[in-house]
């Protein structure tokens, strides 16, 4: 189209996009008027205000009544294009005003003609029908707004250049930067031109395919000879280990295949049989079937057990959906009984096995949870990094420990997986080996049906700095690849989409494969010597199911770990549901939970399992037990697999946590009394924590095991003084002079640095925290992590990682600093936290605290260290820290319900301050955190009204609720015994007065104890979105300041008839409190 029309189309596209969201709001008033039948009012309103044409039609060369469809459309575009925003606004509102008369949202010819007259394009005579037919695309006799705008807009412009290359699957997309060239140093211009001429000659005489392969060969050779040049991020789609250099297989391969078949069979039957006997328990058959051979080669030759030496063996992060394979092998090894695997996913009775790798459920078996997609890879990366940290700091020998991480190709979509790859690359974690199970399938369908996922992943991993080992083709198919003299067959493989590759595997049709992959590409002669059956058989045995190819790839990865400087990845091509003929490679394979008799028989035949048809049809004896095959401890297969594991240091997986209480001396109680006497000088609980942590870090062997962690906010939390004293961990040292090198608290890095500065990634930091908090089990080396961060970016942002930490039985401290919706006053909605303590109670292993004073904080940390290391409890302590300075009082001397203050603090609630005895009335105010200062401020205000105040500090409302819930359950199930009490009820239950609960948390947090408080309760919390302002204004807005506490108490007393309601009303007016308050975040809809 000519430039004016193109401009008009662009304006239309922009206009329609920007106005569409508001369109219904504009037309709502007219719809209501039409429904009410007030046609006159509507017409007058439209005519007088909204629909006065802003651009009138200017006649062209053709007389009215004789214009063609093309002329009419062009003139309409001109009318709208001159002032598109206002014209489109008129047109869209008028359209819906007319179309809504009969609720059809469509116009007939006469209505469309009338509309055009309104916007400045009158139609006469036959033009009405001519114009209408242009827009009536489906010939229905009426035109929808979508039809109108689509026709007016014309064909959509091309979205992006990449769409022009949608049929190109290899990843060799053109780049607009090629034409710009590069400005490199040219030492000899004539020589450079000769090289370019040589390249031209190769392209001319041998073609681009041979040229591409030759350049790859030259790049590889240059790297081998020490030339510092980055290799291309993608290479031809061939195995990285050539057949000619494959090592001799060290084991009995026939025996190992029999073992693999037994493991694969038992894993599949475990899921199928379990679902037949306990319908709905679920499980996955296809995933382990695809990765079984890689897993078994690793078990027989690579995965190091706890007794291997040079540390506590390897850590393996298994694909969660493949967990039946680990159980099946442990059953053959004699580590799991038949009863347990027959109770797959049936754990309540204590005789089953868990659905996925869950150390919390199977603490002697699993070490690493993995099934929350993406988290496993990231934790694996930080585990490898933490092993190096332990070694460089001299805390543990991890020289022979590797981390193996299995990832599904669909799992690579997770952002945590991609970040994990980048981090492993820049950390140069050569002790990390990732294995991507490239079976081309997600849960519903193909991972990348239109492209080549292995090539894509290679680019990602190589670009991040990994050594990439492609394990694609099995031995038989690889013969065709090796005998490809011109590279044409490899190019066919590269441009065959993964979706088609999956289809060939599912169809298992050699004739189809021959036609589409070979005959249609002029390569029929390459496979003329193979029958269809031989051809499809070769295709159905990719590299991930060829033990020799697998061994070669894993051996190279092991060599990289021992002597290389990069992490390694193996991209293993497999078939999902391998050997399960009826559903392997199909989109439904992931949902396959059971197998029919004929499927079991076919599976049995393929794997050569000694079961008769009658045994399968009868369902086996002992409720399915006959389905499982275990040849016994004296059989050659079991002896072989156990011997191989003995060579590698023991069975795997297995978890052997150290008993920390027996090997570590924890600090004495006196260590934590530094705040007992109080301090009139204002300070925050954040600063109190920094002081206590520094003291702990200087306590000999225990201090060395304390690991402070920050994401990049140490200065915010008052920990910048730690940099010079304890140093930031940097495995390669500090090879630059920091800008602050000439001051005392300079930024100091060292390989043996104690501080873990994680960068701006809470997910990465939590992953490191998990590695640190589980080191007592992974390496028998207890380390105690203290991770301090913006509290809003904890449970809300990375709550799944904290759940992972609980599952992994991590031990340590999470410090939610800058807590409080009004205390972190300037940061606004995205930073102000008032709900982390409520979130925390959803995690059973997490104990969440909200201390107001420094001595409370010290007692809490002492209690956490004692429980985690003195009693070996797998707990997480979450502590809210605030950045508001105020004087710190001394520890109260009085008792709370007969209990000393320290003990009461750790119970979660204690009386901080008695009410004066000279007041006629008394109320209780319960508070925590920084709002405790507002509660104390309310004492004087209420005293003016003759009301005394008893102040209570609620250090842990969550634990008060948990204890009360347990007491209620006990009483419910012991009706013959007296009702069991709980601490919160002991303290607050026997009371008929007024209790005000206020903190910097939302009110739902306070509700956890509200029903256990006697009398009437006033609940004041920070419900709603945060916003920026002064603390005073924010606390007034959320009604948690001293004045709001005072008014809340007076109003409740008035309701009880203890004061005149006028007193409360006068206080409201005196303090300037109002019911109406503006809240833009909720459209002023505030209860």
pLDDT tens-digit readout, 273-316: 888 888 888 888 888 989 999 999 999 999 999 999 888 999 99
Please tell me the distance from the alpha carbon of residue 960 to that of residue 952, in angstroms, as a whole number. Answer: 14
At 922 the three-state DSSP class reads strand
| pLDDT at residue 600, rounded to an integer | 86
Burial 986-1017, CB ≥16 within 10 A → b, else e: bbbeeeebbbbbbbbbbbebbbbbbebbebbb
pLDDT of residue 525 exceeding 70:
yes
pLDDT of residue 818 exceeding 60:
yes
CA distances from 774 to 171, 339, 759 (A): 41, 30, 21
Asked if residues 543 and 472 have their Cβ atoms less than 8 Å apart, the reply is yes
| pLDDT at residue 350, rounded to an integer | 86
| pLDDT at residue 56, rounded to an integer | 35
Asked if residues 325 and 291 have their Cβ atoms less than 8 Å apart, the reply is yes
Tokens encoding 1044: 């709001």
Tokens encoding 304: 């190091």
Please tell me the distance from the alpha carbon of residue 1030 to that of residue 1035, in angstroms, as a whole number. Answer: 9
| pLDDT at residue 624, rounded to an integer | 54
Please tell me the distance from the alpha carbon of residue 407 to that of residue 389, in angstroms, as a whole number. Answer: 24
Please tell me the distance from the alpha carbon of residue 283 to that of residue 289, in angstroms, as a whole number. Answer: 13
What does the mean pLDDT of the chain come to? Answer: 87
- pTM, two decimals, is 0.85
Q: Which among 1003, 1007, 1010 has a CA at the least distance from the CA of 985?
A: 1010
Query: Rounded to 5 degrees, what are φ and ψ at 680?
Result: -70, -20
| pLDDT at residue 86, rounded to an integer | 64
pLDDT per residue as tens digits for the range 937-994 = 999 999 999 999 999 999 999 999 999 999 999 999 999 999 999 999 999 999 999 9
Q: For 538-542, 742-746, 758-762, 954-958, which range has the lowest pLDDT when averaged over its residues? A: 742-746
∠ Cα 1045 1048 1053 (to 5°): 125
**Residues of the chain above pLDDT 70, percent:** 88
pLDDT per residue as tens digits for the range 96-146 = 776 665 556 688 888 888 888 887 889 988 899 989 988 888 888 888 887
| pLDDT at residue 1084, rounded to an integer | 56
pLDDT per residue as tens digits for the range 655-685 = 999 999 999 999 999 999 999 999 999 999 9
Residue 611's pLDDT band (cuts 50, 70, 90): confident
pLDDT per residue as tens digits for the range 829-884 = 989 999 999 999 999 999 999 999 999 999 999 999 999 999 999 999 999 999 99
pLDDT of residue 189 exceeding 70:
yes
Please tell me the distance from the alpha carbon of residue 425 to that of residue 384, in angstroms, as a whole number. Answer: 12
CA dihedral 158, 164, 167, 173 (to 10 degrees): -130
| pLDDT at residue 982, rounded to an integer | 97
Please tell me the distance from the alpha carbon of residue 869 to that of residue 847, in angstroms, as a whole number. Answer: 15
**Residues of the chain above pLDDT 90, percent:** 64
| pLDDT at residue 167, rounded to an integer | 44
């Amino acid at each position: 189209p000519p430039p004016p029309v193109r401009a008009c189309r662009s304006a239309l596209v922009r206009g329609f996009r920007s106005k569409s969201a508001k369109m219904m709001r504009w037309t709502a008033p007219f719809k209501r008027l039409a429904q009410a039948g007030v046609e006159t009012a509507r017409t007058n309103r439209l005519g007088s205000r909204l629909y006065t044409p802003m651009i009138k039609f200017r006649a062209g060369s053709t007389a009215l009544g004789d214009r063609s469809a093309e002329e009419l459309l062009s003139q309409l575009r001109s009318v709208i294009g001159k002032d598109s925003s206002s014209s489109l606004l008129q047109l869209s509102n008028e359209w819906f005003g007319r179309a809504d008369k009969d609720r059809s949202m469509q116009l007939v010819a006469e209505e469309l003609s009338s509309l055009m007259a309104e916007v400045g394009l009158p139609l006469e005579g036959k033009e009405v029908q001519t114009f209408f037919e242009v827009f009536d695309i489906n010939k229905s006799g009426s035109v929808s707004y979508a039809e109108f705008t689509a026709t007016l807009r014309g064909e959509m412009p091309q979205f992006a250049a990449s769409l022009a290359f949608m049929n190109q699957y290899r990843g060799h997309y053109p780049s607009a930067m090629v034409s710009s060239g590069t400005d490199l140093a040219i030492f000899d211009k004539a020589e450079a031109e000769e090289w370019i001429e040589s390249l031209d000659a190769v392209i001319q005489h041998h073609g681009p395919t041979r040229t591409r392969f030759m350049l790859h060969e030259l790049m590889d050779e240059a790297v081998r000879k020490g030339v510092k040049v980055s290799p291309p991020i993608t290479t031809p789609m061939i195995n990285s280990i050539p057949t000619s250099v494959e090592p001799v297989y060290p084991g009995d391969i026939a025996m190992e295949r029999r073992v693999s078949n037994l493991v694969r069979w038992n894993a599949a039957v475990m899921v199928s049989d379990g679902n037949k006997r306990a319908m709905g328990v679920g499980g996955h058959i296809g995933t382990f079937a695809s990765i079984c051979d890689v897993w078994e080669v690793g078990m027989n030759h690579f995965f190091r057990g706890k007794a291997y030496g040079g540390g506590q063996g390897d850590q393996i992060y298994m694909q969660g959906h493949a967990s039946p394979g680990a159980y099946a092998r442990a059953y053959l090894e004699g580590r799991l009984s038949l009863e347990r695997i027959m109770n797959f996913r049936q754990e309540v009775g204590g005789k089953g096995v868990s659905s996925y790798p869950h150390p919390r459920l199977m603490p002697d078996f699993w070490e690493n949870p993995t099934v929350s997609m993406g988290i496993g890879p990231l934790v694996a990366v930080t585990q490898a990094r933490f092993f190096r940290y332990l070694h460089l700091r001299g805390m543990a020998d991890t020289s022979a420990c590797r981390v193996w991480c299995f990832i599904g190709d669909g799992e690579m979509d997770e952002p945590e997986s991609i970040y994990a790859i980048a981090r492993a690359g820049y950390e140069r974690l050569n002790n990390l080996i990732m294995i991507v199970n490239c079976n081309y399938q997600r849960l519903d369908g193909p991972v990348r049906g239109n492209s080549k996922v292995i090539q894509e992943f290679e680019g990602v991993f190589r670009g991040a700095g990994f050594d990439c080992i492609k394990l694609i083709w099995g031995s038989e198919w690889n013969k065709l690849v090796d005998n490809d003299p011109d590279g044409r067959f490899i190019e066919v493989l590269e441009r065959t989409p993964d979706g088609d590759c999956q289809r060939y595997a599912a169809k298992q049709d050699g004739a189809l494969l021959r036609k589409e992959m070979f005959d249609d590409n002029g390569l029929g002669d390459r496979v003329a010597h193979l029958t269809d059956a031989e051809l499809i058989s070769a295709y159905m045995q990719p590299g991930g199911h060829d033990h020799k190819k697998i061994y070669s790839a894993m051996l190279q990865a092991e060599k990289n770990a021992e002597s290389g400087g990069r992490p390694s990845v193996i991209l293993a091509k497999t078939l999902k549901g391998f050997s399960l003929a009826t559903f392997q490679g199909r989109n439904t394979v992931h949902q396959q939970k059971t197998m029919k008799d004929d499927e079991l028989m076919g599976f049995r035949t393929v794997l050569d399992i000694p079961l008769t048809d009658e045994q399968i049809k009868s369902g086996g004896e002992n409720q399915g037990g006959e389905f499982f095959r275990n040849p016994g401890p004296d059989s050659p297969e079991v002896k072989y697999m156990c011997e191989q594991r003995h060579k590698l240091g023991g069975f795997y997986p297995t978890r052997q946590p150290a008993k920390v209480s027996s090997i570590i001396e924890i600090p004495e109680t006196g260590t934590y009394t530094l705040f007992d006497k109080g301090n009139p000088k204002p300070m925050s609980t954040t600063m109190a924590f920094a002081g206590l942590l520094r003291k702990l870090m200087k306590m000999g062997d225990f201090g060395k095991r304390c690991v402070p962690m920050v994401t990049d906010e140490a200065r915010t939390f008052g920990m910048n003084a730690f940099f010079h004293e304890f140093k930031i961990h940097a495995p390669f040292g500090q090879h630059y002079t920091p800008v602050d090198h000439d001051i005392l608290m300079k930024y100091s890095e060292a390989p043996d640095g104690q501080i873990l500065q994680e960068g701006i990634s809470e997910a990465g930091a939590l992953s490191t925290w998990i590695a640190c908090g589980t080191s007592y089990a992974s390496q028998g080396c207890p380390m105690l992590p203290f991770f301090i961060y913006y509290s809003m970016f904890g449970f809300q942002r990375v709550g799944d990682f904290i759940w992972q930490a609980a599952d992994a039985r991590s031990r340590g401290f999470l410090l939610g600093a800058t807590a409080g919706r009004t205390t972190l006053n300037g940061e606004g909605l995205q930073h102000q936290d008032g709900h982390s303590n409520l979130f925390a109670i959803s995690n059973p292993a997490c104990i969440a605290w909200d201390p107001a004073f420094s001595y409370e904080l010290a007692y809490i940390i002492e209690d956490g260290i004692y429980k985690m290391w003195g009693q070996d409890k797998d707990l997480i302590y979450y502590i809210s820290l605030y950045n508001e300075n105020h004087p710190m009082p001394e520890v109260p001397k009085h008792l709370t319900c007969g209990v000393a203050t320290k003990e009461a603090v750790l119970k979660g609630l204690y009386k901080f301050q008695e009410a004066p005895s000279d007041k006629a009335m008394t109320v209780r105010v319960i508070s925590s955190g920084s709002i405790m200062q507002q509660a104390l401020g309310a004492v004087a205000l209420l005293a003016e009204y003759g009301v005394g105040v008893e102040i209570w500090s609620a250090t842990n409302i969550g634990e008060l609720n948990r204890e009360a819930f347990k007491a209620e359950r006990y009483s419910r199930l012991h009706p013959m015994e007296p009702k069991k009490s709980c601490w919160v009820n002991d303290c607050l239950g026997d009371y008929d007065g007024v209790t005000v609960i206020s903190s910097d948390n939302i009110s739902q947090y306070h509700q956890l104890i509200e029903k256990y408080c006697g009398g009437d309760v006033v609940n004041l919390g920070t419900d709603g979105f945060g916003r920026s302002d002064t603390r005073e204004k924010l606390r007034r807005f959320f009604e948690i300041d001293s004045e709001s506490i005072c008014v809340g108490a007076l109003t409740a007393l008035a309701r009880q008839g203890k004061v005149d309601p006028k007193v409360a009303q006068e206080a409201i007016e005196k303090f300037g409190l109002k019911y109406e308050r503006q809240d833009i975040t909720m459209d002023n809809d505030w209860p």
